[in-house]
Chains A and B, each alone.
Chain A
Amino acid sequence: MSEWSAAPAPLERRLLTVVGVERLGAYRVLRVADVETPEPRPGQFAMIAAAERWGGGEDQRPYLARAFSIARRRVGESQFLLEDVGPGTRRLCELAEGDGLWALGPLGKGFEPPTQRRRAILVGGGVGIAPLAILQDALEAQAEREVSVLLGFRDAARAEGAALLRGAQVATDDGSVGHHGLLTELLSKELYRDSRAQVYACGPAPMLEAVRAMCATRDVPAQLALEAGMACGFGACYGCAVPKRGGGYLRVCVDGPVIDAAELEHVAEHAGAPS
């Protein structure tokens, strides 16, 4: 497979049904029946919202749909990785089997396959491991590829999320699981072992910035999946802009969410994600 295709998204949001919610430590894997969606490219996302109790309530939040990476595809099923960090994610975490979920997508630019037979290194932090799961599936479908997976978490409850991917090396901030320290320390070792690599990263902005800087100094290509608050998800509102190298802005929704690290001077703080 030299090319990962991306068919256009259906024009309207679709009402999907939750078929299961699985706890994964501090996270939840939301599984929805999704037969008709075009097969997403790894790294693409969907704008999702609960069909019920979305808006209203005491302060009427949440009401904007939330942008979520498609974490995994199974036959007739899409999966999203959730962490309760705000009104939108809290509501999504309350979903149960049989509930409705509005979804628009798949949207945005996904990951590009590795070039020149480079070895893929997947670097994920926290809930940002989500798009790396579907990426690992796609890379391993190309049987001969070696894939290294490095995941970092705050603590042991979150480190349970590492089970979403196969064969991960784990680092934790508090040392409760795996390497006690920064994810970039694991990345540094991997690149020292063999720098003929293609890095794929997703996670909090400071982590992405550290990965970007390390890859830049070692001349390793990196594709970074960014996060931003969005009102539309398809290029209309310009709300998700991040500064690009040389001035101006990129829209995370249509110029990304996967952006070549070379296009960025630095990874700015997430653009106000409405959590």
Chain B
Amino acid sequence: MIEFCGLRLAHRVINGSGTFDAIAARHAFGPALARDFPFAAYVSKTITLQSQAGNPSPRLWEAPSGLINSIGLPNKGVDAYIEEDLPRLAELLADAGEGGDAGSDSTPVPLITNVMGSSAEEFAALVERCERHAEIAAIELNVSCPNVKTGLDIGADAAQLEQVVRACRPRTRKPLIVKLTPNTADVPACAQGAEAGGADAVSLINTLRAMALAPQPRGSDSGARAARSPWLGGATGGDPRRRSRAGLCSGGTRERAGDRHGWSSAGVARARSAGRRRDARRGRHRELPRSDDRERDRRESVAVTMHRRSLRSTNHLLDGYSSATSERFPALWRYSKSAGKDASYHSQGSMRLDLKLSFR
């Protein structure tokens, strides 16, 4: 057993929010899921105050640099989540905690409920709803969401993030985990903001913003979209709601959205070439050229997505853990060390690697 901000975990692997749906998986895999539950805690998909249908399809694009997704946080809303899903999750996670060892002194696999609001008040309301339910062991805040007033991602600004966490803190005694956005200039500053606001831990990272443009149409291929228009229905990956796309392309057309893509694809391209250099040196990490911290953080954020693909299974994930932290992401590692934090925890769903750093 290890401890992570008050939760007792059987091992170090949990799912990233939105990459594993325990209820759907129970349906697909039957009782074996509880018998051999793959995660030490279960993180729910993001829950919002009102239900959301999600973004138009297509929602996925396999790009050379990684999976681009524009899902749009479909969920049934907090009321239906608590009424319908919570009892089923509690039962499933209790069975999973027994792990086929029924009768022993077992505890349920902890449930971490991930929530997102578009203002400090909405976050606080969601946290308050979760606080009332003993089945929820911890709360993760998805702050990769545009502020309704400013249009800027709440989690992209350290001061704003601190304010949101500060609004949530008095509403719960459960551990509060802040899932940081990579789409910001200064990830460590945002982590410090989260800690100052009263967070118990941070998760790194949420989806990277990215866009794929449709290729030239091929003959009569019915699936082809107009050439050079965004492939995904939501235009960009990493935007949790369509209105954030409106913010991104404010007043613009799809063509302008394509222009905007310029810098993000360039960022990916640089990270790819850095990866190639590393490969050329037979796997040894090459220190990136000295540049300002913002640039380095951005590259590391991209590298998280790239690294995911080399993680083929849970076992590989465990093998990859030390390299993921100390070699691949030196700035994050140094940050956690210098701040006296234990980089104790990480997770991977089918799509993404997350790191969780505990402040305790």
Contact = CB atoms under 8 A, between A and B. Distances in A.
B320 interface: no
Contacts of B69: 231, 237, 239
Given A11-B36, A254-B27, A269-B222, A237 B19 contact: yes
Interface stretch (A2-10, A22-30, A144-152, A191-199): A2-10
A272 B58 contact: yes
B234 to A, nearest CB: 11
B288 interface: no
A240 B60 CA distance: 8
Contacts of B58: 229, 271-272
Interface string A208-243: 000000000000000000001111101111111111
Interface string A61-90: 111100000000000000000000000000
B114 to A, nearest CB: 13
A35 interface: no
Contacts of B349: 236
Interface string A148-175: 0000000000000000000000000000
Nearest to B224: A269
A234 B24 contact: yes
Contacts of A8: 28-32
Contacts of B350: 231-232, 236-237
Nearest to B33: A11
Given A205-B222, A238-B74, A268 B57 contact: yes
A202 interface: no
Contacts of B310: 55
A254 B28 contact: yes
Give the most central of B21, B24, B58, B351: most A CB within 10 Å: B58
B74 A9 contact: no
A231 B60 contact: yes
A204 B221 CA distance: 10
Contact of A237 (B30, B231, B351): B351
Contacts of A60: 64, 309
Interface residues of B, number: 40
A98 interface: no
A231 B350 CA distance: 7
Nearest to A273: B223
A248 B54 CA distance: 8
B54 A249 contact: yes
A111 B67 CA distance: 31
B71 interface: yes
A241 B223 contact: no
B28 A235 contact: yes
Interface in A94-144: 107
B293 to A, nearest CB: 28
B74 A249 contact: yes
A231 B25 contact: no
B18 interface: yes
Contact of B232 (A107, A240, A268, A272): A272
A59 B223 contact: no
B21 to A, nearest CB: 5
A242 B31 CA distance: 29
Contact of A238 (B30, B36, B71, B223): B71
Nearest to A7: B30
B28 A107 contact: yes
Contacts of A235: 21, 23-25, 27-28
Contacts of B222: 204-206, 269
Contact of B60 (A205, A239, A242, A248): A239
B171 interface: no
B223 A10 contact: no
Interface string B62-98: 1010010101001000000000000000000000000
User: What 4 A-B pairs have minimum CB-CB distances, sorted nearest first?
Assistant: A235-B24, A272-B58, A8-B30, A59-B64
Given A239-B69, A243-B56, 12 more contacts: A8-B29, A11-B36, A107-B28, A231-B69, A236-B18, A237-B18, A237-B19, A241-B74, A243-B57, A254-B24, A269-B223, A272-B223
5 contacts: A11-B36, A61-B64, A63-B67, A236-B20, A254-B28
Interface of B: 18-21, 23-25, 27-33, 36, 38, 45, 53-54, 56-62, 64, 67, 69, 71, 74, 222-223, 231-232, 309-310, 349-351
